[in-house]
Amino acid sequence: MIHLAIVSVLVIISTVLLGLFLTTADILPAQASVQAETVDWLFGIHWWFIAFFVSLITVFILYSVIVFRRRKGERGDGKYMTGNHNLEILWTVVPIAIVLWMAVIGASTLADVERRDPQAITVDVFASQWVWRFEYTVQVTGESGEQILTAVSSDTLFLPNNQQVVLRLHSEDVIHSFFVPEFRVKQDVLPGGEEFVRELRVTPKLLGTFKVRCAEICGRLHYDMQADVTVVNGSEFNAWLVEQAAGCNLTDAECGQRWAQTYGCIACHSINGDEGVGPTWLGLIGSEVLLTDGSTVIADEEYLLTSVLDPNAHIVASFQPGIMPQDFDERLSELQILQIIAFIMSLESE
């Protein structure tokens, strides 16, 4: 009995020390959303459970190993007991109660994180190998004063502070996973159309820039599938949307560069000469391109256009067919494609 008392005191001391360490050490990243508060509260409880169980197991083991070790001249088995109903009932009932209680707080936390705000704004998130694209619907005033809805695409997820956002997650190819550690929410992004669209609710509460990371192995450049998340004030957000909705009023090549970024072209086609998943764009225009069938073709404007619209028409030697999406004529407007080509044509090698 004296041993049990000593061990119990040691377990309590160890739990308190370890628990204080875990809850005060800066283990989690910044808490940047309202949902993160709820999740972190749950985490806080788990830290104490972890501290208790680690202590319970290690203190008992260490105490037994040291105090009950075999001493010189000792032979045979030590003292032991067989069967103790009270103990068995206790160690069945207590864990069941704990697990049930954790299920209840887990469910209520989930309900809290998924609570809908009727004022929430919606952003469509498109994941594809290996790029994130964010689409907003904006109401703008037309030339004769009528209200029209227009879509704005961005490679950065702009979000207004203190406003709930419903992210509708679409995948254009394989399964990806949307994860912003600072928001503490994560959701798989599934291909297969409207039926498989999943939603995630976030209410940012911290201004700044974070990263969306893809948290599902999705191919060669999975590790690099990131995008910026920028949380700004509501007024700044609205100004940004209006500016984006006005379209691109830069030169064709500059607009093309923007689309190449937004639609992820440059995830596979480098603009600095590096070999990527697809051929580099640097110095491509006017060059002689060797194809897999051994023939060569001059990369003129028409070649570029064909390669965007029908990527499998010419496969450059040492590259694979079927990698590049074949629906860019649906994803992009004609003007956007021509501007991207203008951008490629501006990338002459020195």
| Interface positions with ligand CUA (CB under 6 A) | 127, 130, 176, 214, 216-218, 222, 225
Q: How far is the CB of 324 from ligand CUA (least distance, A)?
A: 16
Q: How far is the CB of 13 from ligand CUA (least distance, A)?
A: 44
Q: d(Cα 236, Cα 159) in Å, to the nearest integer? A: 10
Q: Which single residue is written with the structure tokens 């694979």?
A: 320
CA end-to-end span of the chain: 85
Q: d(Cα 233, Cα 157) in Å, to the nearest integer? A: 14
Nearer to ligand CUA, 185 or 225 (CB): 225
Strands 288-290 and 208-214: unpaired
Nearer to ligand CUA, 133 or 307 (CB): 133
Nearer to ligand CUA, 217 or 239 (CB): 217
Strands 296-298 and 165-171: unpaired
Q: d(Cα 291, Cα 297) in Å, to the nearest integer? A: 8
Nearer to ligand CUA, 206 or 221 (CB): 221
Nearer to ligand CUA, 228 or 254 (CB): 228
Going by C-alpha positions, the residue among 92, 90, 159 that lies closest to residue 123 is: 159
Going by C-alpha positions, the residue among 112, 163, 111 that lies closest to residue 136 is: 163
